[in-house]
Structure 1
Amino acid sequence: MRMISRKLQLPFILAIIGILGFSACQKKDNETSFITPNVGQGIKNGRDTFYLGESRALSPELANVKNPTFLWLVNGTVVSKDSLYTFTPTEPGDYTISYKISSGNSYNFWYYRFKVLGKYADGFFIVNEGWFGHDLGGVNFYRNGEDTIHQNVFNRENPGKTLGKTTQFGAVYNNRLYLVSKEGPLVVTDVNNMQETGRIAQLPASGNAFCGVDNNTGLVSTLDGVYQINLQTLTVGNKISGITGQAGGMIKAGNYVFVMVENAGIVVLNATDFSIVRTLPKADAGISQTPDGTIWAGGGKLLYAINPQTLAVTTTNVPFDVYGSWGGWNATMFSTSTKEVAVFVGKTNPWGAGGDEVYKYTVGNPASLNQPFIKLPTKMVLYGAAVRYNPGNNTVVVTAVHSENYQQNTLYIYDAYSGALLKQVAYNGYFFPAIPVFK
């Protein structure tokens, strides 16, 4: 074969994954003309990352080519001999797509690479209570940077299956999303595809929160104490001795598990045998941890800082009351940064809901509490565990509803350092957002 065109390189860098290359070998006569690639709709100049559930249509663009033959390969495996190939991956990963075209004594080879992410990568979930008396709980998904909310993703991925009534809590542990409802099942899904992996049909009492302890054991707090969960068999084990009444938020830190208990205070458990080590002051909001290891909670006009080794408690005054929601429990409007020693608190009504201000306490700087860090627009109010720090991109995520109808929802995303509004996404529906959940 006589080489007419030398090897051509398209030098742009593919996002995350590498380069796109092109080579051609042509006969310089009237039989054939230049063969160029057509990468299809949705591919951005070769800089392409997309998600499971999406496809990319690929085809060569030919001119004056007689009787061409085609060969498509995915990661070196032949997948098609047609002129058009639609790439629809079934697993996340890195893919090299290449084709070979022959026409007479002309030959062309072209390749490019894709990064395929999980269907629910690069974003976070919003667990929804559902409209009590009308709908069961549900889960929405927000992909970073988009201007839309992907609604009811649990139902879409699990036809015929449902969550319970008032799904109030979700937590990711070991690539599983644990969804806790007030009534009905505790449901577990694969965090990558939202497909259910198991469920406990009914908890011993109205469910509140979940906390993973190790690969085999988790805890679930309820209206009647705390119960062990076998994560391998997904069965309920023993009730934790010494905890009575309603228990709420929990966090494991080092050798301890800290449990917020309505009538007792913050109960510290030995993380190995779940015996009670100590009971700390009562708190209504929390519980969360800053990067220095400190455990934080709040109640009244105080923030509590707990040393996770010594269990010593220090307090900081807050210029407003930090309310909880024991009467209709949720995970409260309380969160901490992973980048700085800072606490975010929603200023709510006495029953632990509503309000339109978020405060940021930068530890060591009492003046940081003198004014709101975030102020919502008129008639928009906080709902559920509405204030959550997103460690994936250092933002504060706020879920809000319109105070006059609760059908108009807005997701607000703020810079966690400055409080600047980065994104707002409005959507309609009686979802009653319970808690944003990050992977």
Structure 2
Amino acid sequence: MRKFSRSLQMPLVLAAFAMMGITACQKNEAGVTIPQVVDPVITNGKDTIYLGDSLKLSPALSNIAGTPTYQWMVNGTIVSTDSSFLFKPTERGDYTISYRVTAGNAQSPLYYRIKVLEPFENGYLIVNEGNFPGLGSVNFYRNGDDTMMLNVYSRVNPGKTLGTTTEYGAIHNNILYMVSKQGAFVAANAFSLKETGRIASLPAEGHAFLGVDNSRGLLSTGDGIYQVNLATFTLGPKVAGISGEAGGMTKTDSYIFVLTQTDGVVVLNISDFSVVAKPVKADVGFAKSQDGRVWAGTGTNLYSIDGSTLAVKAYTVPFTIYDSWGFWNPGSFSGSRYENAIYFAQTGQYGGGTNIYKFVPGIDTTLTVPLVKLPADKELYGAGVRFNSRDTTLVVTAMKPGYGTNSQQNTLLIYNAINGTLKKSIDYTGYFFPAMPVSN
């Protein structure tokens, strides 16, 4: 989509007059009456809409002499000569819509700046396990709304399904990769959720996905790591040197970090996936902090690994960081992009928990007071916590404690990641069993 046309730019003074909607009758020294826009409909001439939606533009006018004529242009192309214009875009992107009214022997212009987004671009995707042995699903929360959009993947892709226990989602190069423990490994456009590819079955229980570059990815499973050809979306060979359960993965400029049940953290060379080191035995992770360190934990130990030298530093925490190998999930570790901090939850041996901690190396190393304590009738489920860099919030998935019908009482909680205050709480119903939030 073309950006704003330079030919459509107008002097700042003229733009100000057009958008302010001057209502007084204005004449120049020769007695020319200038038509005025008294209401442009959109505040400041700017708005955001979504594909599939439409926007009616009908500016209110005054000070009209004679019979007026109109002209509407979208990104430099004339599209209408009516007094109003229904804008219904067919592609995402940034649009300049120019309006010009001519009355008598004078004109007044008005400019709109409209951003068009795909339906699932501005918010959080929630990847759900599903009610075993049922299939996984995806829900979506749009920023600013008070409701959750349910089962959006199946609605966009009629007749297509995810696998059983869909436990992981990751966005790489605008593609959402969804990994299920059994069944299909699925790729979809992260903005529209239209499916772009699938691998019908995996050689072992699927766990997590990491995008390495434009053509390569890695898939962790119950039996090691497999290469993924992203161009053809097919599985490649198994990575040598890793066997048994493998889980979370992350990368730096030179290395890939993999959590394994047997060896803890295994570091791979990013160019050829050869094993470089096994720096520490950990079970849960990863998060990356701004200082270049990679974080993981196990028991009462929190570990930071230098992303360049692989040097390890240990911190003691006042509670147990439980592993999840027997019922694998991605874990709650998440890093901030705006300060040198990481976040993780205090869970029970089999998940759950209500406390979320913020850890700032060198400033807060005690972990005695949680940043967030969930309401009394809610507990964490799945990964539970993810930092959202778009608006500096923590996105938290929770359920009503207990079993049976309690499990269909879900809540999406959005907290200020700096001070832990609750910004929004969205309740929704269904046996979803949320695995993790994923943000565009």
Q: 1:33 to 1:233 in 2, by over 3 A?
A: closer
Question: Which moves more between the two structures, 186-195 or 108-117?
Answer: 108-117
TM-score by length of 1: 0.86
Instruction: Give the conservation status (yes or no) of the 8 Å contact 1:415–1:422.
Output: yes
Deviations 1:399-427 (A, max 9, x none): 11111402222111222221122222222
Q: Note the C-alpha offset of 1:65.
A: 8.8
1:91 is matched with 91
Instruction: Give the conservation status (yes or no) of the 8 Å contact 1:400–1:409.
Output: yes
SS for the counterpart of 2:149 is coil
Paired amino acid for 2:437: P
Q: How many residues are matched?
A: 419
TM-score by length of 2: 0.86
Aligned-pair identity in percent equals: 49
Q: 1:101 to 1:291 in 2, by over 3 A?
A: closer
Describe how 1:9-408 pairs up with structure 2 within 5 A.
11=16, 36=37, 39=40, 43-44=42-43, 46-61=45-60, 70-101=70-101, 105=104, 108-119=107-118, 120-134=120-134, 136-351=135-350, 353-365=351-363, 368-404=366-402, 405-408=406-409
Q: Note the C-alpha offset of 1:240.
A: 0.9
Q: 1:320 to 1:48 in 2, by over 3 A?
A: same
Instruction: Give the conservation status (yes or no) of the 8 Å contact 2:34–2:108.
Output: no
1:416 is matched with 417
Q: 1:311 to 1:20 in 2, by over 3 A?
A: same
CA distance in 1, matches of 2:366, 2:54: 48
Instruction: Give the conservation status (yes or no) of the 8 Å contact 2:332–2:385.
Output: yes
CA distance in 2, matches of 1:49, 1:358: 34
1:428 is matched with 429
SS for the counterpart of 2:197 is strand
Deviations 1:264-284 (A, max 9, x none): 211111111111112233222
Q: What runs of 5+ residues in structure 2 fail to find an aligned partner?
A: 1-11, 28-32
SS for the counterpart of 1:113 is strand
CA distance in 2, matches of 1:249, 1:34: 63
SS for the counterpart of 2:272 is coil
Paired amino acid for 2:386: R
Deviations 1:62-117 (A, max 9, x none): 789987654432223222344442101122333232344567x4665442212313
Q: 1:288 to 1:62 in 2, by over 3 A?
A: closer
Instruction: Give the conservation status (yes or no) of the 8 Å contact 2:129–2:433.
Output: yes
Instruction: Give the conservation status (yes or no) of the 8 Å contact 1:169–1:434.
Output: yes
Paired amino acid for 2:75: N
CA distance in 2, matches of 1:227, 1:172: 18
Q: 1:246 to 1:79 in 2, by over 3 A?
A: same
SS for the counterpart of 1:155 is helix
Paired amino acid for 2:149: H
CA distance in 1, matches of 2:49, 2:364: 45
Q: Note the C-alpha offset of 1:370.
A: 1.0
CA distance in 2, matches of 1:368, 1:417: 17
